[in-house]
Structure 1
Amino acid sequence: ILAVFDCNGIIFAGTTLHNVLYSTDHGSTWMESDSGLISNSVQLAFGSSSDSTIFAGTDLGLFTSSDTGKSWVQTDRKDVQGEVRAIAVNGECVVVGSDSGVFFSNDDGKTWEKRVHGLKSLFVSSLVWDNDILLCGTGAWIYSSADSGKDWTLADGGPDVSYINAIGTHNGVVFAAVRQGRTYLSTDNGGRWDQTKGIPDSASVTSFAKSPSHFYACTDHGLFKLNDTDTTWVNVDTTGVLTGSYSLTAWSDTTLFVESGGKLYRSKDGGSNWAESDSGLAGNLILASMAIDDTELFVGTSDGLYCSSDSGILWQELAVVDSSQQPAVGSIFIINRDTILLSGSNTFYSSDGGTTWACVSNYQLHNFVEAVNYILALRYGIETPYLSTDYGSNWRDISYNLSNGVDPTCLISASSYIFLGSRFSGVWRLPISYIDSVLSGIRGLKSPDRFQLGQNYPNPFNPTTTIQYEIPRQERVTLEIYDVLGQKVSTLVDGMLQPGQYAAM
């Protein structure tokens, strides 16, 4: 059930079964009310105007009924565009929100006007009237309008942005950086956002990083630092080495490492001066990522994984995969000295400090985050959040509560929440307790006792579908797709996998 609505004692319910149900006896019995509705539409929102016209929002646009839901007529999609997700009615004023903006009618839906002036994101997920003030949720922020949507202003002091380039957390404060724009902070877990001071508005923050006492913002205008008691960023890079896109890893408050332009740099004075520090790495390598535990620095390169226990002077190459696999390392995550995750074309897991490795997924993960009992990451390419309950051995998609059109770019764990930055819809927040409740049975799951290939979902689908499968032991797995003529279309999985439950798209 996607939406429920009461119209003069008749209850309507929109379902994922592509129809509308209605009840005249307070929900005891239900009947279908989908005459005129396109068969594969999904009801997402309802509303009723002063003359009892009922509005139904669907993935194929807006439908209206003037006979209490017995029949429906589709509104011209040129008038109301996109997937309708929200409807708000105030007398004869009807406002519709879709993934293409806000549409307004003052004649019970006979004519429509698009009203998006001031909205930075056209992905509208909710609408509500507060007396004569119209409030609009875009998935990222809340906007308000005092003139029925002609002009929108950002509510609650938040940043009027949709593309979040980086997010980080320091001393209970959450930071969000806008691509080619400003940096904001929230002291109440994302309830309100205020612009930070010290970083130029023209600077683009590519990532945040921590040392024991400091918090860093890596920008194309140099490296900026916050001390524990500071509220204003200070530029600490005096060499001009740090420009463009780079990432930082802190060994201590004074010893920092930066991967920039495919090279490794080290600072011994907290970031003021930098020198190359990759002389111990063999060959002409392209550096892609770094990670650190208490005693060792790990560097992912185009030739595999290296580690150093002496601040980057000497390096030891760790065997990652056999020669038949792609050895390039894109991301590294150190759970502890023995348990390491790394991702290249596939994702690999080691429980013995990098001596032996097993492929745990046939796709690439990045932006690894530890949150209480979970490891989270983004799946490269489709940028979907994934979760592991067993320290990286098995992974599952947890994008079930994200609205369509959200394209994640980064994520962190802060306080009791997961924060996710997106390309189109700002910052999203998910309570860790919600993950606990939804996945409460996962920790107790036993390893599968047989091979099993599940039904794909959704089915039918366009353009993607998910296929779940289980294997009871370590095995080389091949999963191929064939068309109705028996011709192979694609290979989704081809590699050695550990026992567990998997999903391929």
Structure 2
Amino acid sequence: MKTKILALISVVFLFYSANSLNAQWIQCHNGFYGALIGGFESNGGNLRVSTQNAGIYLSTNEGYNWFQTNYGLTNLNVFALISNSNYVFAGTHSSGVYRSSNNGANWSSASSGISNLGINALAVYGSTVYCGSTNGLYTSTNNGTNWISAGGELASKPVMTILFSGSNMLVGTNGFGFYFNGTQSNSGLTDLNVSCLAVSGSGIFAGTFNGLFYSGNNGASWTAVNSGITNPNITSLLAYNNKIFTSTYSDGIYYSTDTGISWIPCSDGITNMSITNLHLRGTNIFCGTAGAGVFRSIDEGASWTEFNEGIISQNVYAFTTYNSKLFAGTSGKNIFVTTNSGLNWNVTGYGVANPNIMSLMNNESYLFAGTWGGIYRSSNGGDNWSSVNSGLTYHDVRGLAFVNRNSVIYNFAGTNGGIFRSTNNGSNWSVIQYAQYVWDFTIKDSNIFAGTLYGIYHSPDFGSNWSLAIQNLSNVDVRTMASNSIYVFAGTNGAGVFRSPDYGANWYQVSSGMGNRAVSDLLCIGDTIIAATFYYGVYLSTNNGTNWQTRNNGLLNLNMRSLYLSNGYVFAGSYGGGIFRIPLNYIINGIPEMVQNIPHEFLLFGNYPNPFNPVTQIKYYVAGSSHVNLEIYDVLGNRVTVLVSGIKDAGMHAAEWNAANYSSGIYFCRLKSSSFTKTIRMVLMK
């Protein structure tokens, strides 16, 4: 092991040279945890969860910490997990089945014979692996090397869930009901969309989109059992210790001790009532949510505790600031807030009943949040929120904006049905223009521009009158708007960026270097324009959009949704990867400013090169003289080496790891001090 300790006197120069070549985005991780959970899998000391958009996470300590294990997994939207004695299997949204023979360190495709690659369910019985796809049931007797159709009645049915009870195979389908050993059996089953199954004693429970059903005769007949469940859109079932647990998509978790005759709610501690999955591990019950990640109960559901350390898979749609606070709106876990430029985050949003935050705004008097369920307002800096939907007839709120003219604050809300305006800080709203999906606004002088599903609406008089832009943008899906002192900019879904020099009278495409990328957000800083795109990361223009170049170094997720400038940092919200930040001067110049802008916090930079063979360098920054540990772990959570352990002076440091004696795969480097912990992923490829 070779360790280089850089003298404090040379910190400034190293900081310049290292970052001029490797200026990069850093993921904001401390406290910013959560995900939409697809499924669970337990195997010995390993617990896994699959997520939407962030792949698979592994815990080797009962969920206290999680590590991402996606090497070789090309589709990170994973619905199902299962394992046998040889492999771990993962079913993806549209890329079929993957398998791993080394506990998830590496994945490879294993879908030969499956004609439709949308995988909903996996199961193992004996030496056979079962796969439920959107066009039928498949089986494999060679660990997924080849698959064949199960034939019979299930040959082309969309399979949602597979469960074995002894030697009996129970299958739930989408639209065709329940099958017992391959034979359809739906008498009394009034909803044929069977999403989950459980066996309790001699009975079978079936969860559907519209309620729970019970059968005491192997599915020959069914009876509805929903008493006490407010919204019976059933997502999961679990039988344990003479209780049956069920989860719903918007109403949390319930349990029954009387074969489903009555149900008792048991969601205390869960912050998102849209539950996707239940999983029993020993005597502990885990639940997955649609955005808030993983929770665990050690008392049979009486109370739940969040267990998300390391799971970063949030969809981040919006930012705003209030005094020294930066707020981030997510899909599924409400609003996060930081008071130190993203180093640490906490969940806020008390009173916001809908956790899917699509837009945020500070109108200099109040904070506003636009959600799938309307608008919420805070008068105390985001600590408490209340609904303000009077007059708002469409509640899917995607864009918010305001303008203060002659002491009147005009507030605008873009919804799935039109543009609404309020002149009393949201207490009342009135529709001023009908339009389908109003995504975003920008305001230039007295002109308001609204990007919609079918083009741009323009008002020259604070929203009293509107016209639809026709020239070059007719029926174009305009997802984001921005403006500076010269131009108005429009980011489109599939046609790049347009700009107008004359208040929207004429629009010209300015996408050289970007092409027809789908643009999700735009940020104007003088004549510097930053664009977030779907699937292709971040683009930068320093000449008002005439030319573009990528700025993706350090981004672990290129599917971006939002941009914001705060306290000298550009923040980028991603779809499935949380938040990334970079100093503004880095993204523009790639070179830091002078000494006063050297960071005042601990930083762990990505190793370089990555992937590597066999040597890689790891840079880290120490804010003040501290005892630090820099350690390497394998994918199972075992510490394989310690690179640094001791007192380090303030400044930039670097360490090298020579992995010549280690096998190829995923490793994790962790920097830890008394006040800071961060982990990065490294890939050794020999």
TM-score (norm. length: structure 1): 0.51
State the partner residue of 1:64: none
Aligned to 1:81: 104
Q: Does the 8 Å contact 2:367/2:381 carry over to 1?
A: no
**Is 1:180 aligned to 2:332, yes or no?**
yes
Aligned to 1:341: 489
Confirm or deny: 8 A CA contact 2:453 2:477 kept in the other structure: yes
* 1:261/1:174 CA distance change after superposition, 3 Å: same
Give, as a single letter, the amino acid of the residue that structure 2 aligns with 1:272: S
Percentage of pairs with the same residue: 22
Distance in 1, matches of 2:471 and 2:485, equals: 15
Residue type at the aligned position of 1:299: A
1:394 aligns with 2:547: yes
Q: Does 1:331 align with 2:488?
A: no
Partner of 1:163: 314
The 1:303/1:185 distance shift into structure 2, 3 A limit, reads: closer
Tell me if the contact between 2:366 and 2:425 (Cα under 8 Å) persists in the aligned partners: no
Matched, 1:354 2:504: yes
Change (3 A) 1:355 1:172: same
Q: Does 1:266 align with 2:421?
A: yes
Coordinate RMSD, CA, aligned? 3.7
Q: CA deviation at 1:395?
A: 1.5
1:251, distance to aligned residue in structure 2 (A): 2.6
Change (3 A) 1:222 1:201: closer
The 8 Å contact of residues 530 and 539 in structure 2, kept in 1 or not, is answered as yes
CA distance in 1, matches of 2:100, 2:412: 54
Q: What are the Cα deviations for residues 190-233 of structure 1, in whole angstroms up to 9, with x where unaligned?
A: 11112214234653211112323332111233312234756322
Could you tell me whether the CA contact under 8 Å between 1:369 and 1:412 is conserved in 2? yes
Residue in structure 2 matching 1:238, options 378, 390, 397: 390
Higher relative contact order, chain-length normalized (CA < 8 Å, sep 6+): 2
Contact 2:334 2:349 in 1 (8 A): no
For 1:180 and 1:59, the matched residues in 2 are separated by 26
Change (3 A) 1:229 1:247: closer
- Deviation, structure 1 residue 234: 3.1
Q: Give the number of equivalent residue pairs.
A: 297
CA contact (8 A) 1:205 1:219 kept: yes
Are 1:424 and 2:576 counterparts? yes
Give the drift of 1:371. 4.2
Equivalent-residue separation in structure 2 for 1:342 and 1:262 (angstroms): 20
Q: Give yes or no for contact 2:374–2:387 (8 Å, CA) kept in 1.
A: yes
- The corresponding residue for 2:533 is 379
The 5-angstrom pairing of residues 170-249 of structure 1 reads 170=321, 171-200=323-352, 202-227=354-379, 231-239=383-391, 241-249=393-401
Aligned partner of residue 277 in structure 1, secondary structure: strand
Contact 1:183 1:199 in 2 (8 A): no
Over 3 Å counting, the alpha-carbon distance change for 1:335 and 1:182 in structure 2 is: closer
CA distance in 1, matches of 2:468, 2:103: 59
Q: Match for 2:351: what amino acid? A: I
SS in 1 for 2:433: coil
1:391 deviates by: 1.9
- Structure 1's 303 and 414: CA in aligned 2 closer, same or farther, altered over 3 A? same
Cα-to-partner distance string for 1:376-410 (whole Å, 9 max, x where unaligned): 12223x2521111112222211112212x553332
Give the CA deviation at 1:435.
Answer: 1.8
> Matched residues in 2 for 1:203 and 1:58: separation?
28
**1:176: Cα distance to partner?**
2.2
- Which residue does 1:366 correspond to in 2? 520
CA contact (8 A) 2:394 2:416 kept: no
* Paired amino acid for 1:374: T
Q: Do the aligned partners of 1:370 and 1:413 also contact (CA within 8 Å) in 2? A: no
Distance 1:201 1:190, change over 3 A: farther
| TM-fit CA distance, 1:189 | 0.7
The CA distance in 2 between the partners of 1:435 and 1:247, in whole Å, is 26
**Residue type matched to 1:273 in 2?**
N
Question: How many Å apart are 1:277 and its aligned residue?
Answer: 0.6
Q: 1:275 aligns with which of 418, 423, 430?
A: 430
Q: Is the 8 A contact 2:479 2:521 kept in 1?
A: yes
Measured at CA, do residues 214 and 201 of structure 1 come closer, stay the same or move farther in structure 2, by a change above 3 Å? Answer: closer
Deviations 1:255-279 (A, max 9, x none): 2122212312222221121222127
Q: Is the 8 A contact 2:523 2:531 kept in 1?
A: yes
- C-alpha separation between the residues in 2 aligned to 1:342 and 1:288? 11
Identify if the C-alpha distance between structure 1 residues 315 and 238 changes in structure 2 by more than 3 Å, giving closer, same or farther.
Answer: closer
Displacement of 1:436 in angstroms is: 3.8
